[in-house]
Structure 1
Amino acid sequence: MSLETSIECVLFDLDGTLIDTAPDFIKVVNQLLEEHDKPPIHTELIYQTVSDGARALVKLAFDITDEHEEFPQLNNRLLEMYYEQLKRTEAFFYPSMSELLNNLDASEIAWGIVTNKPEKYSKLLLSKLGVMGKCKSLVCPDHVTNRKPHPEPILLACQQLGRDIDRTVYIGDHIRDIQAAKNADVIAIAAAYGYLSANTNVEEWGADFILRS
């Protein structure tokens, strides 16, 4: 595939690709730990886990599995705290992504977001950052039967935007994003600046292109 093809649609993952949402998670994870008289955990560990969602953060913070008897309560409490934190969010657009959105709007190229983040949190975040009205397609787990890496979310976004898959790109910072793009037969771009662990080799994901910043 080549980007020389006229691109008609650009789809983004949310956390760690379009927006750096880690500051909010860092705050609420450590607040939850404080509620349970536990010390904070290293910021870098949270950065490396954000893309896997709240459940993974609870397991990381409390060193438990999701079968632990306290897991449901801890997970629900973290989500409550996160929703309240989003009302005064510290998340921000990656500079390159903010510029890209402006260029897409100026060129009248359709763009949307395909995320594993539930709609409740995604909409509040995007509203607080002032782009909910500009996002013409927001596909969350609430809207599909299958999450990424299944192609369904990306295909739904293309359908909502009325764009062909062969003129669509998907940008994400996790291997499942690239797998989803490949499964949907759209151009796959890996965001190598996202929430990656030190031993992650983006080159092995099989993306068509790699975005370094």
Structure 2
Amino acid sequence: MRIEAVLFDMDGTLLDTAKDFFSIVQTMRIERRLAPLSSETCFREHVSRGAQAMVAYAFSLELDDPELILLRDDFLARYDVQHAQLTGPFPGILALLERLERADIRWGVATNKPLRFAQPIMDALQLSSRSAVLLCPEHVEKSKPAPDMLLAACEQLQLDPRQVLYVGDDKRDIDAGRAANMHTVAVRYGYIVPGDNPSNWGADAVIDNIDEIDALLEAQCGC
């Protein structure tokens, strides 16, 4: 079946959101008279695990440390304000979206990021009016790796899941896409946990550069 839509995970796939996360934890550390973290690269490896894991890494805390909850809440409150100051699309994303639109292939976002953050970011980057769908945990009973979010997107798009390609940077994304009976693509440029390997996730394709999507659409999906 011809691919009629491409869905993207948000953090680590469509958008590089780590810069805002890193900036916030640096400010929090400085305010507490702690030295700034020395490496954004190491910090990025924890982004896919969520706010609590990012803060735990930034302050060298165990996940069961009672102080962590207060720090996490502070982090999220700051992110409410600073959600798109440094965030932007990964290289090649805007050009890809333009190519999809010219080919009449709709695109959208299915993310485990709460709507309170995802929607303002899409608005700030002027992507909301272009995106056909935005699905977040609030819209479904179960988040990824369950397929609920992707199936809900298909319902909104009025497409068979086999007509949709899902792109993500985490095994949860690929698991959700496969459970929904979609074509799946794993990207290596995202927030990959150390020791993990996207080639082992069972995706239909694994890519290093988002521009490789064009060839996949033409060669594998008949577009």
How would you bin the TM-score normalised by the shorter chain?
over 0.9
CA distance, structure 1, for counterparts of residue 190 and residue 163 of structure 2 = 24
| Partners of 1:24 and 1:89 within 8 A in 2 | yes
User: Which residue of structure 2 lines up, in the alignment, with residue 14 of structure 1?
Assistant: 10
CA distance, structure 1, for counterparts of residue 51 and residue 150 of structure 2 = 22
Letter in 2 for 1:50: V
1:68 aligned to which of 61, 65, 70: 65
| Partners of 2:30 and 2:36 within 8 A in 1 | yes
Instruction: Map residues 9-158 of structure 1 onto 2, 5 A cutoff.
Output: 9-41=5-37, 42-86=39-83, 89-158=85-154
Q: TM-score, normalised on structure 1?
A: 0.92
Letter in 1 for 2:124: K
- How far residue 68 of structure 1 moved from its aligned partner, in angstroms, is 2.2
| Partners of 2:184 and 2:203 within 8 A in 1 | yes
Deviations 1:50-78 (A, max 9, x none): 12221111111122244322222111110
Structure 2: which 5+ runs fail to align? 210-223
1:162 aligned to which of 158, 172, 187: 158
Letter in 2 for 1:119: L
Letter in 1 for 2:95: E
| Partners of 2:114 and 2:138 within 8 A in 1 | yes
Letter in 2 for 1:205: W
- How far residue 34 of structure 1 moved from its aligned partner, in angstroms, is 1.7
Deviations 1:170-201 (A, max 9, x none): 00001111111111111110011111245332
2:182 aligned to which of 186, 189, 196: 186
Letter in 2 for 1:54: A
2:173 counterpart of 1:210: no
CA distance, structure 2, for counterparts of residue 35 and residue 8 of structure 1 = 49
Identical-pair percentage: 36
- How far residue 146 of structure 1 moved from its aligned partner, in angstroms, is 0.7
CA distance, structure 2, for counterparts of residue 176 and residue 70 of structure 1 = 28
Q: Which 4+ runs in 1 deviate beyond 4 A?
A: none
Give the count of matched residue pairs.
208
- How far residue 40 of structure 1 moved from its aligned partner, in angstroms, is 2.2
Letter in 2 for 1:78: F
